[in-house]
Structure 1
Amino acid sequence: MIACGAIAQPVAAIVSRRGWPVDVHPLPPLLHNQPDRIAGEVRRLADELAASYSQVVIGYADCGTYGALDEVCDDLGLRRLPGLHCYDVYAGASRLETFFSEQPGTYLLTDFLVRSFARTVLQELGLDRYPDLRDTYFTHYTRVVWLAQEPDDELLSLAQHAADRIGLPLTVVETGDRGLEKALADLLLPAVSLG
C-alpha cells in the first residue's frame, strides 16, 4: 500500500492488528501542501513497487488532486481510499457535510495534524515567522474541529494550542479509527486474500 504519510502510522497499526499481509509505503505528508504533486509521486512509487508486489493499492483519498489521482489509478489499474480527503475516512462524508453546512468556516485537524501543527502548518505557511499572515490564511475560518482518533490529555493540549495559534475556538469530535479500518478493509479485501 502506498499511503499518505499523514495516515501511514494508523494504517500500519490497523494492518498489524488485523494481521493483513500488507506492507505500507508512505509518501511524505507535506505533499498535502502541494497536492498537484501527489498523483505524480503515487505513479512513480507504484511503478517502482510493481516489480516487487502482485498488488498495489493507494492509501489516499483524492486529497486535493482534483481527479489527477483517479487518472493515475485508472491508468495503472489501482484502487484508492474513498472520499475527498482523509477527513471523510475518519469522520464519514455525511458528517463532514453537516459540519460544513452548519459552519462553512470549519478547519479540520486529525491526530497527525495536531502533533505536527508547528511544522506542517505554522512553519510551512510561514506563520512562525510572519504571524500577521494569520488573517490572510484564516480570516474566513470560524472554528477548528479536531477529528480525534486517539484522544488523550497531551493531544487535547496540542489541539487547543493549535486552535489558539490561529485564533479559533476548538471543537473535539471523537472518531476513533473505525472509519479508517472499514475503508482499509473495503480497499484491501478485494485486492489480496487477507484470511
Structure 2
Amino acid sequence: MVPEHPKTLLIACGALAEETLAVLATGQWGHVEITCLPAKLHNRPALIPEAIRKKIHANRDQFDKILALYGDCGTGGKLDDVLREEGVERIAGAHCYEFFTGSSLFNSLADAEPATFYLTDFLARHFDRLIIEGLGIDRHPELLPLYFGNYEHLLYLSQIEDPELQEKAKAAAERLSLAYEYRFTGLTGLEDFLKLKAAG
C-alpha cells in the first residue's frame, strides 16, 4: 500500500539546488529528498538524458516516487523520451526560465523581446565562472561578439530578491553590452509543481 506521503526523490539540475531547498524548507516536505546533477551538463546537453537515467536506476528501489526538476534543456526531446521509458514525470517547460515565470508569461516576454539573454539567481551568482570563463571569453575576448552579438537585452529573472545579486546581474549586462531589465519571479513555479506532484 502506498503511504499517504510517498517517499519522493527530486532529481534536479545543480542550478536549482538552492531554490529547491528553499521551497522544501517552507512546507511539510519531510518525505522529499533531492539529488542533483552538475549544472555544467548544460554545456553538453546530450549527456543529460542518460545521466538522469543513471540517477533513476541508482535510486528507484529506495523511493516510492521519482520526479525530475529539469526542463528539456536543449536535449531535443530526448530527456522526455528517457523519462517516459522510466515512468518519471518532470516539471513542465523547456527550461528553468519558463518554469520560473510560467509558460504564458515567458512566451509573452520572448515574443516581445526575442533578442534576450536570460539570467536566474544561479547564473547571476556564477556569471563569471559559467559564462565568461566557461565559454572561454576570458581567454579569447574576440569570442564575446560571436556569442552575444545577436542579443540586445539581458533579463534577470530573480527567484529571491537580493540587492547583491541584482548588482551582479547589472554588471553582467554591462560586460555583455546589453540593456538590463529585472523581473522578480519568486519560487511559485517550483512550489506549484511540488504541491501537485509530491504532496501525496
- After TM superposition, the score normalised by the length of structure 1 is 0.94
TM-aligned CA deviation for residue 157 of structure 1: 0.8
Higher strand share: 2
Q: Aligned partners of 2:191 and 2:140: how far apart in 1?
A: 39
Runs of 4+ in 1 over 3 A off after TM superposition: none
> What is aligned with 2:27?
18
- State the SS of the aligned residue for 1:173: strand
Matches within 5 A, 1:1-195: 1-20=10-29, 21-189=31-199, 193=200
> What runs of 5+ residues in structure 1 fail to find an aligned partner?
none
Q: Deviations over 1:59-103 (max 9, x none)?
A: 111111111111111111110010100111111111111122111
Coordinate RMSD, CA, aligned: 1.1
Q: Give 1:141's aligned amino acid.
A: Y
Q: Aligned partners of 2:139 and 2:102: how far apart in 1?
A: 35
Q: Give 1:57's aligned amino acid.
A: L
- State the SS of the aligned residue for 2:181: strand
- State the SS of the aligned residue for 1:23: strand
Q: Aligned partners of 2:71 and 2:198: how far apart in 1?
A: 14
Q: Aligned partners of 1:50 and 1:179: how far apart in 2?
A: 25
TM-aligned CA deviation for residue 8 of structure 1: 1.6
> What runs of 5+ residues in structure 2 fail to find an aligned partner?
1-9
Q: Aligned partners of 2:108 and 2:82: how far apart in 1?
A: 31
TM-aligned CA deviation for residue 144 of structure 1: 0.3
Q: Aligned partners of 2:69 and 2:162: how far apart in 1?
A: 26
- After TM superposition, the score normalised by the length of structure 2 is 0.91
Contact 1:114 1:155 in 2 (8 A): yes
TM-aligned CA deviation for residue 179 of structure 1: 2.0
TM-aligned CA deviation for residue 115 of structure 1: 0.1
Contact 2:71 2:90 in 1 (8 A): yes
Q: Aligned partners of 2:130 and 2:12: how far apart in 1?
A: 17
> What is aligned with 2:4?
none
TM-aligned CA deviation for residue 184 of structure 1: 2.5
Contact 1:81 1:187 in 2 (8 A): no
Matched residues, percent identical? 36
